[in-house]
Amino acid sequence: MEERNAVAVEVKTTENEKNYVAMWSGESSVGKDWASWTPERNDEMLERITGETVALSDVVNTQISVTDIYLENVQIADENTGEMRILPRILMMCKDGRTVSCVSMTAFSALSKIMRFKGTPTPENPLTLKPIQNKKGAKVYYNFQVLSK
């Protein structure tokens, strides 16, 4: 397995914040990003990560074939306290040309587990997934059913 495919041990940035990018890249700098592709594909992928996206909630219970993943830490104000929190923003590039986007700790955890066992998706070996959404009160949680072997 290549170094970029390793899923690293949890790294804390402050007492209550996690650096999600560091968990996948093994680094601890806030504001960094992580990408599943090699640098040779940066020009091709830049268009995908800066273009239009589809919300993960819009593809729940459908099949998506993920070929590449981009992850970045984003700061979002907590809706109850107003305190700034760092959360993982995930862009999943799909075989059909769509880019599926979410900011979700539960989606991050689910993808981390899947990649630990299946490896990082590539165009040659995509992850075929079925996004699942669960709600508990106002909270929304995501998981993925693995459909590819």
- The pTM (predicted TM-score) of the whole model is 0.79
Q: Could you tell me which residue, 21 or 45, shows the higher pLDDT?
A: 45
Looking at residues 13-30, what average pLDDT do you find? 55
Instruction: Indicate whether 77 pLDDT > 90.
Output: no
Q: How far apart are CA 66 and CA 54, in angstroms?
A: 13
